[in-house]
Chains A and B, each alone.
Chain A
Amino acid sequence: MKEAMIIAVSMTAAFIFIIIANIAGKKTGRQMDSQFDERQIIARNKAYMTGFFVILLLILADVLLKMTASAFYVDPLGELSAVFIGIGVFAILAIWNDAFLMPAQKPGLMSLLYGVIAAERMLRFLFSLRAGECFSEGKLTLSNINGVIGITFFAILAALLLKQRSSRSED
């Protein structure tokens, strides 16, 4: 429960930071979106829509599982997994349409960052698994969220690397 609180507080803090950065950007005329070109903005909007739809579907599945008392995980693993999978879908679609990174951003540095996050989360997940913290009373515990985040970030990293490779061959 304590871990759930920490995750919820961190996510709320991240959202508040993004909102403040956006408002500050608007006031100084340096909006994040202005760095993306027009094709990228359209592609990102489509990716946002798909990611959001995936979150809705997964939340619906989570609600149905809970209603039928067949949920095989503790709260809020289902909701958090839905959010991270939705974010992953958005990121992969945006990467695939060359709309994830701004022109000035370096793909190599971003790949490294995602790789570090994915590896750190997967290690935490493996340690939890080894310590027997991933299952409790026949249900998946919140420790499994590290696995979900790790796999999501590995998928994003794989998409980034594949896109970089295909972009190089296009050049």
Chain B
Amino acid sequence: MKNLNMKAARAAKDYSQQELADIVGVTRQTINAIEKGDYNPTIKLCLAICKALDKTLDELFWED
């Protein structure tokens, strides 16, 4: 399932996938795979993304 919350939060911060990838220390393709729902990140990476986007885990990764 696509992670639209993360995509929206990234867009709100005006980050490109590459910029977010550089901040959290992964490749752009990994950020792309997470947003497309092709890859489930570890909790460590989820936390790094949350910190970079100033969001909580629930806001980015909890599915209603």
Interface residues of A (CB under 8 A from B): 37-40, 98, 103, 167, 170-171
Contacts and interface: CB of A to CB of B under 8 A. Distances in A.
Contacts, number: 29
Main secondary structure of the interface of A (DSSP, over half): helix
Interface residues of B, number: 14
Main secondary structure of the interface of B (DSSP, over half): helix
Interface string B7-51: 000000000000001000111111011000001011011000000
A38 B45 contact: yes
Contacts of B25: 37
Contacts of A170: 32
Interface of B: 21, 25-30, 32-33, 39, 41-42, 44-45
A40 B27 contact: yes
B32 A37 contact: no
